[in-house]
Amino acid sequence: MARGPTIIDVARLAGVSKATAARVLNGQEELVKKSTQELVNVAAEQLGYVRNAIAGSLRTDRTYVVALSIPDITNPFWPEVARGVQDTTEAKGYTTVIVNTDWKYDREQSMMNMVRRNRFDGLIINVVDTPIIELQKLHIPIVLLGGSEYYPNINSVGSDAASGAETALHYLFELGHRRIALISGLSRRRYSVQYEAYFEFHARYQLSMDEDLLIEGDFNRRAGYFAMEKLLSLKNPPTAVFAANDSIAIGALKAAKMMSWRVPEDISIIGMDDIYASTVTSPELTTIAKPKYEIGVNAARILLNCIENESHTATEKLKMACDLMIRGSTAPPRVKMPKLNKK
């Protein structure tokens, strides 16, 4: 395979020294007169010369590459976050490499080794299970996505999910629901944010807790489907369901329809995230909207500030407000519950 053109080739075609060509191609034009700059740039364009970023990073100790580590690339929540990160980093001349960990610790460790090996300038990460000491060993700026109570000295950006969950439950209560189920996603903590809000909600309104109405599973439609099947098969089923994300809620909506339960006439469903699919379900899904794009933008902003200002030491913890999006999947409860279909 033929090698690509080098600075030496550009210098030879332009009729200048290698040092002069290097100054122009490395952005040090102020040291070279305009006519010579033009000669070098024309020669580089004719040859198809591309600056060697790896060689440049050895001189500047910066690669202009950052990593974005997310746990599930198939989850519709993440593309908007990634777009926010990418738009912000690209505007500052950085490239973003997106890595998917599949909620697996070993994949997260492989990602970290890749970041270390390729000398990335920074990392934005939704942590699976890596302890803080391992993150600190990277010796690069890091911004966490989501909860960060286990990482007190690391920058973080996320939504105020606890307040959002409280809003969802209060809205169902105001509609008249008292028997509300929770389909929660698996959490690295003992209890998820949604569960804690659910527990506090029942305590505040002095409602009895029914363990049969609490189901924990994966953050996907399949988990939501089977959880809803279980809930609707109870002798005393719920009148409303709060799902930890929209994918779970959409799976629950499908299960309700398969079991001939009408939404929202027979049961209400509310999700969380406000992904695009929540607006095209039938009925459209009531949900708690998280500012996904803005989360990505702010995470990238904080990261770039830390990269470009090495003296910056203050830790920034940003929680962004969520909004209730009322659509067609919620309504006041029926007094009489529908009968289950016999299988």
Domain borders along the chain are 7-51, 65-159+291-321, 161-290
Residue 151, pLDDT > 90, answer: no
Q: Has domain 161-290 been given CATH number 3.40.50.2300? A: yes
Q: Are 98 and 68 in contact (CB under 8 A)?
A: yes
- Residue 59's Cβ-count burial label (10 Å; 0-12, 13-18, 19+) is exposed
- Beta strands 95-100 and 286-289, pairing class: unpaired
8: which 2 tokens? 């030496």
* pLDDT: which is higher, 300 or 195: 300
Across 3-7, 25-29, 78-82, least confident range: 25-29
Task: Record the pTM.
Answer: 0.80
Give me the mean pLDDT over the 96-117 stretch. Answer: 92
pLDDT at 342: 44
Residue 301, pLDDT > 70, answer: yes
Euclidean distance between CA atoms 167 and 72, whole angstroms: 26
Q: Helix (H, G, I), strand (E, B), or coil: what is residue 242? A: strand
Q: At the topology level of CATH, where does 65-159+291-321 sit?
A: Rossmann fold (3.40.50)
What is the band of 121 on the pLDDT scale with cuts at 50, 70, 90?
Answer: very high
Long-range contacts from 22-25, C-beta under 8 angstroms, 24+ separation:
25/49, 25/51
CB atoms closer than 10 angstroms to residue 146: 15
Residue 341, pLDDT > 70, answer: no
**Residue 303 carries which side chain, given as an amino acid letter?**
L
pLDDT at 343: 42
